[in-house]
Structure formats: C-alpha cells, structure tokens
Amino acid sequence: MTIENKHVVAVSYVLHTIEEDGSRILVEETTAENPLTFLYGLGMMIPKFEENILGLKAGDKADFIIQSEEAYGDKDPNSIVQLPIDMFQESGTPPVGAILPLSDGQGNNFQAFVVEVTPEGVVADLNHPMAGKVLDFQVEIINTRPATEEELAHGHPHGIDGTDAH
C-alpha cells in the first residue's frame, strides 16, 4: 500500500542539518522500533517532507534535502527581542542557551532561545530552532495504512497498527 492523504505513516529517519561550510550535524534519529508516526496530508509535517514520501510504501527508502525556505523558513532578524530584566524577578535570570516557555496576549505558546543576558534584559531569539537550516533526511517507510475515522477525528494516529489507546 502506498502513502496517500489521510494515511497513518510510520517512518524511521536520520536528520542532519547542512551548515554553511558544508558540514553536516546530526539533529535526530528514529528507529524502526520507535518510528515517527503521523497522519499524512493533514498539516502535521513540513509539506516538502510529505511531498518527498508521497507514493512510497513500506520498505521504501528515500534521501532528500529540504532548503530552509521550504522547511522552517529563514531566520528573521526581527525575531530577536529584548525582554525586560524585571520579567525574571520571580524565576531568576536564565542563562545563555536556556529555552524560555513564553505566551503572547492571545494565549499562543512558543519558545525562545536565550542568546544574551545583560543588566537591562534578556535577549531572546523567537525564531524556530531549525529556522535557516537546510535539512538532510534519510528515511525508511516502516508502514502505511488508511487512518481510521477515530484517528481522523482525534487528529492523531493510534500507533502503527491503530491499536494504541489514547
């Protein structure tokens, strides 16, 4: 059975970023025993990732590169902000490299990466951590099957074979 919209897809993959100097950095790796399982065609994955595996079947392998603008976008310099130091009176000043859980006035949650701490504030990068990165995937399709009505209603797969309770 080949991958189609509204299918549950299980893939194992190795993800590297390709840096500006051509070097590759390992970001993440999954296995056949613990694959990434998702609903295909419902916006859960990077569209270009889905495009590269469309029509594949269990056992198929694919290697592909996704440019930053088709992945998480380019880094936006306007997404570097200074948060006032008094914002951290209760929790304490975070160190450089910390990930801050933040929310906006509309209740949207997101994360910021601390890039600098000064006496006046904390400089945080609101870009997605993979923004500006070229992604190099090696994937193997473990399984694909039509999603059940329950999975589609819940918005997530119930495991590779559909029996995992959620």
| Dihedral over alpha carbons 87, 89, 94, 95 (to 10 degrees) | 120
pTM over 0.75: yes
pLDDT at 95 over 80: yes
- In this prediction, residue 103 carries a pLDDT of 83
- Which residues lie closer than 8 Å to 25 by C-beta, 6 or more apart? 16, 17, 19
- In this prediction, residue 113 carries a pLDDT of 93
| Residue whose structure tokens are 């999954």 | 30
Is residue 1 a part of any domain in this protein?
A: no
pLDDT at 166 over 60: no
How far apart are the C-alpha atoms of 138 and 49, rounded to whole Å?
A: 11
pLDDT at 38 over 50: yes
Question: Do 119 and 138 reside in the same domain of the chain?
Answer: no
Residue 109 structural domain: 77-125
DSSP 87: G
* pLDDT, mean of residues 117-127: 92
Question: Do 118 and 145 reside in the same domain of the chain?
Answer: no
Q: In the structure, what pLDDT confidence band is assigned to residue 107 with cuts at 50, 70 and 90? A: confident
pLDDT at 139 over 90: yes
8 Å CB contact between 158 and 151: yes
Question: Do 134 and 68 reside in the same domain of the chain?
Answer: yes
Question: Do 58 and 11 reside in the same domain of the chain?
Answer: yes
pLDDT at 160 over 90: no
